[in-house]
């Protein structure tokens, strides 16, 4: 106990010694054991540990990124050829995609620019594009890009030997091997002459151009693809070549890497290269011929159209001439049109005047191209009425006419009674004669007749009375107003009544005109009576308006008249009653 | 058919172009050579029913003032260093050229040609000395571009050379 208390330091030392014996100095034994199995221990947990540490504070990434970058850099520096070879097909595709999307965008914008531009050339190109049914932009491209890939070379990059060639002209392939070697030599020469740093990958020929001839050179890791192009090189050829070269590398990777001068491995590459042997020629002879035929057809069509237009113009002129003519009295042109290569003229013509063909011939118009459609009508034009009157007078030479101071048409002369009656009837038959205010009182009945003048006049009076009594004016159902179609009847009636008045006066007779309105039996009797009265009244008023003395008119409403034919009842009858004047009246001063 | 690229190197005036002319009928005129420093010809060589097409790159004469473009050697199956046995200096220059070529392309077999064999040897090198230099090459051939001596053999040897 006392020992224990006395030597605490000695006890501590012995414990240390024991620990040293077990774990070794500075834990050496433990460290040895651990380091012996370190690989196994770390292997078991390394992934999980990295994962957990990264999740905890993200420090793994911080440490790894610079390391990876550094080692990648070193690796590329050391094995650049190898890495380029591996990445080449991949990068090529990526770049091509990016470039093509840029180009599409660019072309679209150029398209818009071109579309908006306006020059004589663009107009002619637009027309040609429309003619050949292609998009304008495509047509412009075809005009700009006219080319032919005449020959293709696939060259082994290392040795400069020709792997394969294709040509549009077989004779050209003869010295392709020398040409390809020469090309590689030139390429080496350029690389050497203009690139002192010796970084050959960055300084290789892409294109050799002289005038219209271009050598397009696409350089891959093991092979070079060269296209001899004549004409303007369109951008799609370059991408096509690039793509083909990449495909070539893919297909022939092994033979390319193991190449020792034997070309037999590349025999089948023609199908691959065929796509590049393209051309876009200017329009061929056939196209020209087609154009010639097109031009001829177009010309013929134009001539026919011009001929038709000429005919049409001629007809139009004829139509206008006819339209501008002033037709004679009795002809009214209602419509003109051009149909079936002729001018169609529709007209109304009073049959009493000269025929339409006569009139047109008088105007100097040939009738070959004119078709006439006539509708007869009665013209009330003064000149037509006069013409008709003159014709009548020519039949009755004994009668003359003149216009008196009151503007009445005064007839004078001598006629036998029969002839006078006939003349009166025919005169009254002339439509529109009333407007000339005819006065027959100047015609004397010739003495040669057996009858006295008074008797003759009495006979004339009776005749006129009979004619007046024969007049009837029809109405529509339940209508009391006069129809326009009845105007002529009323005018005729007025004329007869005036003549009657004249003759009656000469004979010192008096007369009464009964205007008898009637109605059919539709409707109530009261209404029908009213209607019949109104009809009679309207006719009377019309006659008064046309100059008939109101005192001689006696409108009467008959009410409904039940006749077999209903329409016969809707009318106004006229009846004349002639009587001697009473002595008182006659003697009244 | 197998194609092989063979380069011909050597000091100016040793008869490289004449050697090639003796072997092939030249197609390209010499003006190409002065433009870019190389002239290319081809010739088919047959042996035992096998054909090899040689593409012969005739490089411009090299002297101490201007080197040569080593790129031209790339991918070659073999190259020939030509010297002239009438000029002692040409052997030394030929050795310098060999050193340059081997520096860039140590794996390409080199062939030694002593040209102008139709003329009496007038250089001061002994046969032993020449043999010492020649040991650095795969083979040594004495040729005459003028008479054609050994020319066909030289190219045939190269065309069918295998180690």
pLDDT in tens, A338-358: 888 888 888 888 877 777 788
Calculate mean pLDDT across residues A168-194: 80
For chains A and B, count residue pairs whose Cβ atoms are closer than 8 Å. Answer: 68
Calculate mean pLDDT across residues B130-148: 90
pLDDT above 50: residue A1: no
- Higher-pLDDT residue of A139 and B138 is B138
pLDDT above 60: residue A581: yes
What pairing do the DSSP bridges indicate for beta strands A147-156 and A162-167?
antiparallel
ipTM of the complex model: 0.83
A175 contact partners, CB below 8 Å, separation of at least 6: B27
Average pLDDT, chain A: 80
Task: Give B-chain residues touching A181 at CB under 8 angstroms.
Answer: 5, 40, 42, 55, 57
pLDDT above 70: residue A195: no
Contact B35, B69 (CB under 8 A): no
Query: Is this prediction's pTM over 0.80?
Result: no
Best B1, B33, B55, B74 member to test A by mutation, with max A CBs in 10 Å, is B55
> If interface means Cβ-Cβ distance under 8 Å, which residues of chain A face chain B?
156-162, 175, 177-178, 181-182, 185-186, 188-189, 191-192, 200, 260-263
CB contact under 8 A, B75 and A177: no
Provide the number of structural domains found in chain B: 1
- Higher-pLDDT residue of A309 and A11 is A309
Nearest Cβ partner of B71 from A161, A162, A191? A191
CB contact under 8 A, A263 and B72: no
> For A49-63, A97-111, A550-564, which range has the lowest pLDDT when averaged over its residues?
A97-111
CB contact under 8 A, B57 and A158: no
**Predicted local confidence at residue A285, as pLDDT:** 44
Q: A15-40, pLDDT tens digit by residue?
A: 888 888 888 888 888 888 888 888 88
Own/partner pairs, A172-179, CB within 8 angstroms, 24+ separation: A175/B27, A176/A151, A177/B3, A177/B42, A177/B53, A177/B55, A178/B27, A178/B28, A178/B40, A178/B41, A178/B42, A178/B55, A179/A153
Contact B82, B113 (CB under 8 A): yes
Best B2, B51, B52, B71 member to test A by mutation, with max A CBs in 10 Å, is B71
**Predicted local confidence at residue B137, as pLDDT:** 92
Axis crossing angle, helix A525-545 with helix A487-506, rounded to the nearest 10: 70
The two tokens of residue A378 are 């009665």
> For A264-268, A530-534, A565-569, which range has the lowest pLDDT when averaged over its residues?
A565-569
- For residue A201, what pLDDT band results from cuts at 50, 70 and 90? low
Minimum distance, in Å, between the CA of residue A202 and any CA atom of chain B: 15
**CA-atom Rg of chain B in angstroms:** 15
Task: Give B-chain residues touching A185 at CB under 8 angstroms.
Answer: 36, 38, 40, 57, 72
B95 contact partners, CB below 8 Å, separation of at least 6: B133, B136
Q: A248-290, pLDDT tens digit by residue?
A: 888 888 888 888 888 888 888 888 888 787 776 554 444 455 5
Calculate mean pLDDT across residues A149-155: 88
Q: Residue B141 sits in a domain of what CATH number? A: 3.40.50.300
**Predicted local confidence at residue A460, as pLDDT:** 84
CB contact under 8 A, A261 and B77: yes
- For residue A116, what pLDDT band results from cuts at 50, 70 and 90? low
**Predicted local confidence at residue B140, as pLDDT:** 92
Which residues form the domain of B8? 2-159
């Amino acid at each position: 106990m006392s020992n224990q208390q006395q030597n605490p330091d000695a006890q501590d030392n012995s414990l240390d010694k024991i620990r040293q014996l077990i774990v070794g100095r500075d834990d050496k034994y433990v460290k040895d054991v651990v380091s012996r199995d370190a690989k196994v221990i770390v292997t078991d947990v390394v992934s999980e540990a990295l994962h957990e540490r990264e999740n905890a504070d993200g420090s793994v990434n911080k440490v790894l990124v610079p390391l990876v970058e550094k080692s990648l850099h070193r690796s590329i520096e050391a094995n650049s050829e190898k890495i380029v070879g591996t990445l080449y097909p991949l990068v090529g595709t990526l770049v091509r995609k990016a470039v093509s999307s840029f180009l599409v965008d660019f072309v679209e914008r150029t398209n818009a620019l071109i579309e908006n531009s306006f020059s004589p050339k663009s107009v002619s190109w637009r027309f040609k594009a429309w003619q050949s049914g292609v998009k304008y932009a495509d047509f412009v491209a075809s005009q700009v890009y006219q080319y032919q890939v005449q020959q293709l070379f696939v060259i082994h990059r290392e040795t400069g030997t020709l792997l394969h060639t294709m040509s549009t002209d077989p004779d050209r392939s003869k010295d392709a091997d020398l040409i390809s070697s020469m090309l590689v030599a030139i390429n080496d020469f350029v690389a050497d002459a203009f690139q002192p740093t010796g970084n050959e990958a960055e300084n290789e020929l892409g294109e050799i151009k002289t005038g219209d001839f271009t050598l397009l050179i696409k350089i891959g890791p093991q092979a070079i693809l060269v296209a001899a192009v004549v004409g303007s090189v369109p951008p799609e050829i370059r991408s096509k070549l690039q793509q083909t070269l990449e495909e070539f590398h893919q297909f022939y990777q092994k033979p390319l890497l193991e190449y020792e001068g034997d070309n037999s491995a590349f025999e089948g590459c023609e199908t691959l290269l065929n796509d590049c042997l393209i051309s876009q020629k200017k329009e061929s002879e056939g196209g020209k011929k087609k154009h010639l035929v097109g031009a001829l057809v177009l010309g013929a069509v134009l001539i026919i159209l011009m001929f038709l237009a000429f005919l049409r113009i001629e007809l139009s002129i004829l139509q206008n001439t006819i339209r501008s003519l002033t037709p004679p009295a009795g002809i009214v042109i209602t419509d003109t049109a051009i149909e079936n290569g002729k001018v169609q003229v529709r007209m109304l013509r009073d049959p009493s005047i000269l025929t339409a063909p006569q009139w047109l011939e008088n105007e100097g118009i040939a009738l070959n191209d004119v078709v006439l459609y006539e509708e007869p009508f009665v013209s009330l034009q003064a000149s037509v009425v006069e013409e008709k009157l003159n014709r009548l007078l020519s039949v009755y030479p004994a009668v003359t006419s003149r216009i008196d101071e009151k503007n009445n048409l005064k007839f004078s002369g001598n006629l036998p009674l029969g002839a006078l009656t006939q003349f009166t009837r025919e005169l009254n038959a002339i439509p529109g004669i009333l407007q000339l205010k005819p006065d027959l009182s100047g015609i004397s009945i010739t003495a040669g007749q057996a009858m006295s003048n008074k008797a003759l006049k009495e006979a004339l009076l009776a005749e006129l009375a009979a004619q007046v009594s024969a007049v009837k004016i029809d109405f529509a159902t339940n209508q009391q107003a006069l129809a326009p179609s009845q105007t002529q009847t009323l005018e005729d009636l007025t004329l007869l009544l005036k003549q009657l008045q004249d003759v009656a006066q000469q004979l010192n007779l008096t007369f009464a005109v009964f205007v008898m309105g009637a109605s059919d039996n539709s409707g109530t009797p009261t209404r029908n009576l009213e209607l019949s009265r109104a009809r009679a009244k309207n006719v009377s008023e019309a006659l008064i308006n046309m100059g008939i003395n109101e005192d001689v008119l006696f409108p009467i409403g008959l009410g409904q008249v039940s006749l077999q034919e209903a329409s016969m009842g809707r009318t106004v009858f006229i009846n004349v009653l002639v009587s001697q004047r009473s002595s008182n009246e006659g003697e009244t001063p | 058919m197998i194609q092989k690229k063979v380069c011909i190197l050597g000091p100016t005036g040793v008869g490289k172009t004449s050697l090639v002319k003796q072997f092939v009928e030249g197609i390209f005129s010499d003006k190409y050579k002065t433009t870019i420093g190389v002239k290319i010809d081809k010739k088919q060589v047959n042996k035992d029913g096998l054909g090899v097409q040689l593409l012969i790159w005739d490089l411009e004469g090299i002297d101490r003032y201007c080197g040569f473009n080593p790129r031209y050697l790339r991918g070659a199956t073999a190259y020939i260093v030509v010297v002239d046995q009438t000029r002692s200096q040409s052997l030394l220059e030929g050795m310098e050229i060999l050193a340059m070529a081997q520096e860039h392309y140590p794996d390409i077999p080199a062939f030694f040609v002593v040209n102008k064999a139709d003329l009496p040897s007038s250089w001061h090198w002994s046969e032993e000395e020449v043999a010492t230099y020649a040991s650095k090459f795969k083979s040594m051939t004495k040729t005459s571009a003028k008479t054609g001596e050994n020319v066909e053999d030289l190219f045939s040897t190269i065309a069918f050379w295998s180690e």
